[in-house]
Structure 1
Amino acid sequence: MLSRSFFCLALLSVQWITALSFQETPDSLNTEARVPEEVNRKVDSVMTSAIRAHAFPGAELLVARSGRVIFHQSYGYHTYDSLIKNRKGDLYDLASVTKISAALPAVMKLVDEGKIRLDEKFSTYWKPWRHRKDKRDLTVREILAHQAGLEPYIIFVNDILKKNGRFKRRFVRHKPSGRFALPAYDSLYVNRRFIRKMYRKINRSEVSDVKKYNYSGLTFLLYPKIVENLTGEKFEDYVTKHFYTPLGASTLMFTPKRHGFPANRIVPTEEDTLYRKRFVHGWVHDENASLMGGVSGNAGLFGTARDMARLMQMYMNMGVYNGKRYISKATMKEFSKVQYPENDNKRGLGFDKPLLNNRELDLSEALPAPQASMNSFGHGGFTGTYVWADPDNELVFVFLSNRVYPTRNNRALYSMRIRQALMALFYDIPEKEADREP
């Protein structure tokens, strides 16, 4: 647990980044301001203590306020052997942050266009559910708010392995072909028909009769196909064309290894003991996303802190970035508000939200920082990522790490409350102090 004395440790101050080259506007994050030196020291203290405690081998933090970057620094190394130092601009596996940075922008755009309606039955857009009595009446709103009673997760890796741990040849091969076209890792290819098996298991999964908050990522495995059905465009192409490219977020991508992104700039994740039996580097950590070829709505997106900040700034501006509107204000407000508070469900539509009593809690219990407004929203990822936008305070928070290295059993990031502690530091800065030029 982080104590007050923990924050008072004095360490080296951070170095500041140079301004970006694109046209300067109030919300394009290419200008900077300086935070008080005391904040620099406290952030360094939190990060250094976390690395020493093996919460993660390295991390990167970017914070923007009122459209200007007020903090951006990387810490540590890619791995604990300290061979490759973390640098600003390194690519991280975003894990479940993919849900709000790939699936959700596509869904929100389709809502704006009237192609998806929130209170319509999900089975309208996913036809197999029309024949499932327990699923046919579930609405898009209930599902996005994790209020539908769906199972949290299905481990599909079990379906590709024999009892002796070897691959079933009908599902996995070591060389690509017309059938085995889904890359799961170097020299590892999944039968493209396996996705249909995944769909069938999701379709047949149980639904609870009790409608309460229960986080489920299952439908995020379906959104890529739904987007393709509604738009005629492949999911990856759709989000790149309509969001990443115009935002200038060129590093938001799936399967970076296949895109030729330099391996020494990609932060590795875990030693996979489940089926790849190798060090996961440049390929998605999440097993279900990997079995879909690395392109999914639940996980699979990679990105840099700077490009994630662009997307989050657009969200914080209620759909506008650099003078261009991507999502209507009405849709952003609807998706970013709590949907079922009467059921003690804190969630928005796809977005995570503060605990309903967050302002009353101490740092040791709050999620995110207790100072975050109730209008704020964001999401976390299993690999140790966390992104947040607070419109009331004009704050964007992007924290990227690989806490699953070398194993997912490492939970010090959570027990030490690292992300909440870091976020809290930036709420404590008086506005005039955060507005000083560097």
Structure 2
Amino acid sequence: MLLKLRILLFILIGFICTSNAQKSAISDTGLSKIDALLEDAIQQQAFPGAQILVAHEDAIVFHKTYGYHTYDSVQSVGLNDLYDLASVTKILGPLPALMKLVDEGKIDLDVSFSDYWQPWRKYKDKKQITLREILAHQAGLVPYIVFLNRATKNGIPKDRFIKDSQSKNYKKQAYSNQFVKNGFQNKVFRIINRSKVSSNKEYRYSGLSFLLFPKVIENLSGKTYQSYLKENIYDAVKSRTLGFNPNDKQYSNTIVPTELDTFWRKSVVKGYVHDENAALLGGVSGNAGLIGTADDLYKMMALYQNMGKYNGQQILSEAVVKEFTRIQFQRNNNRRGLGFDKPLIGNDTLTLENAYPSPKAAPSSFGHAGFTGTFVWADPKNQLVFIFLSNRVYPDRSHRKLYELNIRTRLHDIFYDELIKAQ
């Protein structure tokens, strides 16, 4: 009995010390500002709930949840909840795989992408485009194509493309009772191959190539996109949750719902990817579809912040991480790295209302945002990782208060004030 009491006391003391250590990193004033900002955002329906994880100098100093999964206030947001990461998928899915392939000498950023994606060889406007131009959004590609318009009519699935039961010709699952024709992926590829390219080479964000990257990765590695990622990246950082199609896995984590889709899926989307293009590819894509917890997102951002090293292991070379995370076409007024987003050019001179992200973020910092309300950012100079997760598209994507209230940039700035002292 005495031994049990001693153990309990030891655990309690450890908890108190941990709590005090975290509390000492952020002032009471800072904590009050963070709480007030999140509570106001929820009240104004920027999102029903959110989660913030912040790490400084390789230690998590803040990890807290706010609100609920939906506005009915039934399911509280949990620290281990799984989120649909939307476009954050781009820098945590295909990008580390492409970086690894560069390290392996299987990809050259400055040769024509048509060397790796042969259909582009017959298109005059595409055959000379390099992977560097594509990843920096400097290639002039069309920003987005709504492939759902090809598979449905007025929200009703076209029978030749989508069936309500699985069969040998309709294997890929888009939703609970919707299975996509095996050949639809090739239709997507053909449409992308034939899409127009702007002759005006300037910054133009495009997610189209990220629909092609999984197939390119498979062709170059000889493995499936998912297995190559898992073996070379996710297992190396000891990720427990990063992956696609959570309904296919035995997760004990609770999944946060995204949108109440009244157009196509006619229900609350949960456990299936929110992005329609990724859904029509069976949930496994390079533009969206990745799910994960804040903890596992931190592992990936820490990998990048530490120039490819995690737990003493060099998973990606320092050279490749530096190359991908640096601004590529600044002379073209293009702030982007290779796949990574970067601060606005001259961001440190802007007001908080006009900056992206915090004006205190170093020019060398990088990250990405996601349509569902996700945001990740790493700052190697200041050793600060900021992760914000929400489902701002609930109940529908018309909710834009997250942007209008500038929640993420304001939060980011508070943590700089609290954690980064005089430079």
The whole-number CA distance in structure 1 between the counterparts of 2:308 and 2:45 is 37
Amino acid at match of 1:115: K
Match of 1:242 in 2: 232
The whole-number CA distance in structure 2 between the counterparts of 1:405 and 1:385 is 13
Match of 2:367 in 1: 378
Report 1:422-437 matches (<5 A). 422-429=411-418
Match of 1:78 in 2: 69
The whole-number CA distance in structure 1 between the counterparts of 2:328 and 2:262 is 38
Match of 1:351 in 2: 340
Report 1:36-185 matches (<5 A). 36-162=27-153, 165-185=155-175
Report 1:180-199 matches (<5 A). 180-199=170-189
1:402 aligns with 2:404: no
Residue 278 of structure 1 and its aligned partner are, at CA, apart by: 1.8
The whole-number CA distance in structure 2 between the counterparts of 1:352 and 1:416 is 21
Contact 2:25/2:419 (<8 A) preserved: no
Residue 249 of structure 1 and its aligned partner are, at CA, apart by: 1.1
Give the TM-score of the pair, scaled to structure 1. Answer: 0.90
The whole-number CA distance in structure 2 between the counterparts of 1:210 and 1:112 is 31
Report 1:277-356 matches (<5 A). 277-356=266-345
The whole-number CA distance in structure 1 between the counterparts of 2:244 and 2:15 is 27
Greater helix fraction, Structure 1 or Structure 2: 2
The whole-number CA distance in structure 1 between the counterparts of 2:244 and 2:420 is 37
Secondary structure class of the residue paired with 1:62? strand
The one-character-per-residue Cα deviations of 1:187-238 (angstroms, maximum 9, x if unpaired) are 2111121000000000000000000000000000000000000111110111
Contact 2:143/2:205 (<8 A) preserved: yes
Question: For residues 165 and 419 of structure 1, do their structure 2 counterparts lie closer, same or farther at Cα, with a shift above 3 Å needed?
Answer: closer
The whole-number CA distance in structure 2 between the counterparts of 1:222 and 1:430 is 40
Amino acid at match of 2:46: A
Residue 40 of structure 1 and its aligned partner are, at CA, apart by: 1.3
Contact 2:175/2:272 (<8 A) preserved: yes
Secondary structure class of the residue paired with 1:72? strand
Q: How many residues align?
A: 404
The whole-number CA distance in structure 2 between the counterparts of 1:86 and 1:389 is 24
The one-character-per-residue Cα deviations of 1:47-77 (angstroms, maximum 9, x if unpaired) are 1010000000000000000000110001100
The whole-number CA distance in structure 2 between the counterparts of 1:431 and 1:340 is 29
Question: For residues 18 and 409 of structure 1, do their structure 2 counterparts lie closer, same or farther at Cα, with a shift above 3 Å needed?
Answer: farther
Residue 274 of structure 1 and its aligned partner are, at CA, apart by: 3.2
Deviates more, 1:382-391 or 1:252-261: 252-261
The whole-number CA distance in structure 2 between the counterparts of 1:277 and 1:100 is 30
Match of 2:260 in 1: 271
Residue 257 of structure 1 and its aligned partner are, at CA, apart by: 1.4
Secondary structure class of the residue paired with 2:51? strand
Secondary structure class of the residue paired with 2:247? coil
Residue 246 of structure 1 and its aligned partner are, at CA, apart by: 2.0
Residue 432 of structure 1 and its aligned partner are, at CA, apart by: 7.5
The whole-number CA distance in structure 2 between the counterparts of 1:430 and 1:123 is 46
Deviates more, 1:270-279 or 1:72-81: 270-279
Residue 18 of structure 1 and its aligned partner are, at CA, apart by: 6.9
Secondary structure class of the residue paired with 1:184? strand
Question: For residues 135 and 18 of structure 1, do their structure 2 counterparts lie closer, same or farther at Cα, with a shift above 3 Å needed?
Answer: farther
CA RMSD of aligned residues (A): 1.6
Is there any run of 5+ residues in structure 1 with no aligned partner, and where?
1-16, 20-30, 434-438
Amino acid at match of 2:26: V
The correspondence for 1:201, drawn from 191, 203, 214, is 191
Is there any run of 5+ residues in structure 2 with no aligned partner, and where?
1-13
Give the TM-score of the pair, scaled to structure 2. Answer: 0.93
